[in-house]
């Protein structure tokens, strides 16, 4: 019953925008994928030819998967069950918009599930259910606009992970709370107090004490991607932004920004 309801919910979330998704993702190189024979977690499936497909553009709650001393993230079993309900024993097509294989040998692809009512874009469906969030890479940035839109709707509706404090959006002006989340992937909101370029990198400072307050750092390789996109991160001074990425602790909590899609501008003043 649980899986059946997830299928219906996922279909409703995805089918309403199938034509839009197809239009927005025209740049993808499409290939037959075969049949999904198993689901590892909420963002990874295995095909009948043995290929492991990491659903690029999303991050679902993580399961231990034989990692010692790894606590499952909240709603990780539910995310796996939802993807099983959507994709298990179904034929799929794969869409490629960047690097196609990662260092672990997994296929990096958008997954489109063939069903009686048309194709369901697995990434969009999982994000729309609130059982995954947008997670992008500098070498794989296709189709993110629709995924961000789906995430926004799920967050406003407090669906899935967005009703759990573990996944709350963090405040940039609470560096102590962010330090406690070091090593975690977080969404952080705040106003950029100062944007400055020093030594070939850009710092977005969210407080006056740069050795203690939250900072977003954009290194030289990422700055080249910003320039290619016609974007200047220095104009973000005084802007209200949401930054997503892995929190580390180097002179206070910080996130390294490797590509523009990690920054959402909420207000310019």
Q: What is the pLDDT of residues 48-99, one digit of tens each?
A: 999 999 999 999 999 998 888 888 999 999 999 999 999 999 999 999 999 9
**Other C-beta atoms within 10 Å of 103: how many?**
6
For residues 45 and 35, the answer to whether their CB atoms sit within 8 Å is no
Going by C-alpha positions, the residue among 167, 150, 129, 146 that lies closest to residue 244 is: 167
Distance CA 13, CA 124 (A): 8
Specify the residue for token string 């750092």.
217
Q: Give me the mean pLDDT over the 213-233 stretch.
A: 96
Asked if residue 220 lies in contact with residue 138, where contact means CB atoms within 8 angstroms, the answer is no
pLDDT in tens, 228-247: 999 999 999 999 999 999 99
Report the pLDDT averaged over residues 148-162: 96
The tokens of 96 are what? 């490629």
CA-based nearest residue to 252, from 210, 212, 202, 218: 212
């Amino acid at each position: 019953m649980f899986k059946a309801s997830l299928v219906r919910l996922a279909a409703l979330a995805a089918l309403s925008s199938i034509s839009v998704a197809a239009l927005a993702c025209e740049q993808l190189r499409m290939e037959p994928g075969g049949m999904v024979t198993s689901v590892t977690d909420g963002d990874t499936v295995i095909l009948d030819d043995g290929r492991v497909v990491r659903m690029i553009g999303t991050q679902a709650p993580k399961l231990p998967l034989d990692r010692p001393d790894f606590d499952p993230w909240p709603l990780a079993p539910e995310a796996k069950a939802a993807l099983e309900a959507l994709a298990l024993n179904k034929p799929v097509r794969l869409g490629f918009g960047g690097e196609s294989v990662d260092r672990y040998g997994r296929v990096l692809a958008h997954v489109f599930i063939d069903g009686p009512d048309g194709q369901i874009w697995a990434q969009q469906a999982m994000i729309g259910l609130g059982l995954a969030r947008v997670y992008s890479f500098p070498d794989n940035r296709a189709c993110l606009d629709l995924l961000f839109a789906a995430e926004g709707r799920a967050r406003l509706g407090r669906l899935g992970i967005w009703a759990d404090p573990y996944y709350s959006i963090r405040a940039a002006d609470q560096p102590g709370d962010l330090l406690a989340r070091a090593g975690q992937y977080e969404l952080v909101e705040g106003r950029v107090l100062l944007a400055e370029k020093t030594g070939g990198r850009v710092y977005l400072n969210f407080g006056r004490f740069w050795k203690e307050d939250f900072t977003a750092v954009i290194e030289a390789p990422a700055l080249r991607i910003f320039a290619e996109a016609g974007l200047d991160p220095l104009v973000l001074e005084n802007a209200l932004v949401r930054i997503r990425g892995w929190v580390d602790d180097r002179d206070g909590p910080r996130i390294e920004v490797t590509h523009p899609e990690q920054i959402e501008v909420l207000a310019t003043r």
